[in-house]
Amino acid sequence: MESVLSKCENQITIFTDYLEEFPDTDELVWILGKQHLLKTEKSKLLSDISARLWFTYRRKFSPIGGTGPSSDAGWGCMLRCGQMMLAQALICRHLGRDWNWEKQKEQPKEYQRILQCFLDRKDCCYSIHQMAQMGVGEGKSIGEWFGPNTVAQVLKKLALFDEWNSLAVYVSMDNTVVIEDIKKMCCVLPLSVDTADESISDSLTASNHSKGTSAFSLAWKPLLLIVPLRLGINQINPVYVDAFKVSCFFPKPIASCPSHRHVSTEIREQQSTSDELIFLDPHTTQTFVDTEENGMVDDQTFHCQQPPQRMNILNLDPSVALGFFCKEEKDFDNWCSLVQKEILKENLRMFELVQKHPSHWPPFVPPAKPEVTTTGAEFIDSTEQLEDFDLEEDFEILSV
C-alpha cells in the first residue's frame, strides 16, 4: 500500500503558476453554466466557487471494510471528484443552482442532509467507504485508483439505494447518449400510482398503450447524465477544445472529472477567448469530520476558501467524464437540442447523441436496486454483498 501511495503522490502536479490574481479584463467567466463578468463581479465569482462542496483526501476515518485503509491519500482523488460531481447535482436538485453558501451562516436543512450523505463513514450512502467497496464490483481493489468511468458506474449503483434524493444516474457507453434509454429510465409512474395496487398500474399502462396518448402524466426522475470520454492519447487533442468549451456554457453542467495524475477539475471556467479552467483540487489531505452532538456537521473544510487555481485545457488528462443535471424533462430536451446545435456540428465529435437504442447493443434495462438483506446506505458491509451487481468494463473509447 505504501508503494502505491508514494507512486500516486509523485504523479501529482502542483500548478503554482495558476494561483495568480484573475486578470482585469471584460471577459465573461462561466462557472457550471452560470456566467460572471470578471471585471465587475469578481466577488460574486469567488463566492460562487467557494459555495461548491469540496471533497478532498481525508485521514483518521474508520478503516474501510473494518481492516482496510483509514485514509484515501494518494488513491481517492477520483472518488472525491465523483463526490463533488454528485454533490453539485444534489444541491441543484434540492436548493437550486442559485443557492449560495456563506461562512458560519445557518443553511437549509437539505444542505446539511446532503453533506451528511458524503461523510467518511460506512453508513453514509456516498462515503469513501461505500464507493471503495462498490468499486470491488467494478474490478477495483480497495485502495486502488479509479478511472472516471469506474467512478461513474459506482455512483450509478449507489444511487439505487438513495431513496431520499431519488436520482437517476445514466452513464453513456461507447461515447453514445441514447435518448430513448434515458426517457425509459427517468419517466416513471407518479408516487400515488406507483404505490397503488399493481392491477391499477397495469390497467393504466394498458389503457395508455391502447389509446396512444397518456392516460396519466408520468413523473420525471431527476437525472445526472455522465458522459465518460477519451479525448486523446497522452493529452487532449486540440480538435476537441471548442466542443469542450461549449459544454461549459450549457445551462446545467455539473463537472468535468479528468483522470490520472493531473489535478482533477470540478469547477469549470471558460472565458470566451481563453482556454483556461478554474478547478477544485482534491489533492489536499484533511482530518476526518463527523457529525457533532447536535447532529450538525462543521462544514468549514468542505468549502474551498482559498484563491481558486487555474490551468489550460490542454493540460487536462484526456480521460474525462462530463456531467450534466436535468431536474425536469424539459431540461433534458433542452440539453439534447443544445448538443445537436453546438456539439454534433463538429466533424470530429466528442460524443454521439442518438434517438433510438442501437439494434446491435444488448436490450436496455433500467437499473434497479438488487435484493439485499439491508436497505439504504448500510447495504455494503463487506465485498460479499457485491455479488448482486454485474461487473462492467471500464468504457473509455478512443475516438481519434
Q: Which residues are catalytic?
A: 77, 281, 283
Q: Say how far apart CA 289 and CA 302 lie, in whole Å.
A: 9
Nearest to 350 by CA among 224, 265, 264, 242: 242
- Largest Cα–Cα separation, the chain: 65
Count Cα atoms within 13 angstroms, Cβ side, for 115. Answer: 23
User: d(Cα 21, Cα 105) in Å, to the nearest integer?
Assistant: 27
Return the ∠ at Cα 21 (arms to 19 and 27), rounded to 5°: 120
**H or E segment and range at residue 322:** strand 319-326
The three three-digit cell numbers of residue 115, written as one number: 453533506
By residue count, the chain amounts to 400
Q: What φ, ψ does residue 163 adopt, rounded to 5°? A: -75, -30
Residue 245 neighbours by CB under 8 Å, 6+ apart: 270, 275, 313
